[in-house]
Amino acid sequence: MHNGNFQIREPEWNGFCVALMELNEQKIKEGIGVQVTRYDGSVNVNGHDVLIDYYVPKALLKSSIGANPDNPQDRIVVCFTASSMPQKEAGFLGGDLPLRRHNNLWEYGVNTDAQLGSYWLYENSSRKDRFNFYLPKRVVEDYLPPKRLQISVTDYDSSV
């Protein structure tokens, strides 16, 4: 929003969502040799279920829950929230810090150039790999999308 000579920034979404995700068997058969495994689930937003599918990087599944890429778990728990990690180097001229990939937590950056209708596109990429997460705009509602999301994966059996 503009007010005279300066811009007033709308607040960013800073919520927290947990989704029980189930393995999409059809995508497993189609995705031989791919670096991701598709899981489908939903999150509750103001009493309504919002569907989410997540192509989980096999490297994240392996590092977070020890999943065998050839025999993935039937159910996982995926948590996502606005990133709480530092995004810039210290100092006035500090540059952006790279997106993190920890054992059970990956950070994704928003691509606001992508026009995807009802989703915000988040990406985590390196020289050879690019992974996406599509955040439904209904989750964010009237807020701006956070610049970065933290996404963690845990084993369903260990979380119940």
Tens of pLDDT, residue by residue over 20-45, are 999 988 766 555 557 888 999 999 99
Tens of pLDDT, residue by residue over 107-158, are 999 998 887 789 999 999 877 788 999 999 999 988 999 999 999 999 887 6
Residue 4 resides in a domain: no
Domain of residue 123, residue span = 10-159
What pLDDT sits at residue 5? 61
Residue 103 resides in a domain: yes
For the chain, the helix, strand and coil percentages under 3-state DSSP, each to the nearest 5: 15, 50, 35
Q: What is the DSSP letter of 12?
A: B
Residue 67 resides in a domain: yes
User: Is the Cα dihedral 142, 147, 133, 84 positive or negative?
Assistant: negative
CB 105 within 8 A of CB 150: yes
Q: Is 60 helix (H, G, I), strand (E, B) or coil?
A: helix
The number of C-alpha atoms within 13 Å of 4 and in the hemisphere containing its C-beta is 2
Residue 57 resides in a domain: yes
Residue 2 resides in a domain: no
Residue 5 resides in a domain: no
Domains in the chain: how many in total?
Answer: 1
Residue 3 resides in a domain: no
- pTM beyond 0.75: the answer is yes
What pLDDT sits at residue 159? 56
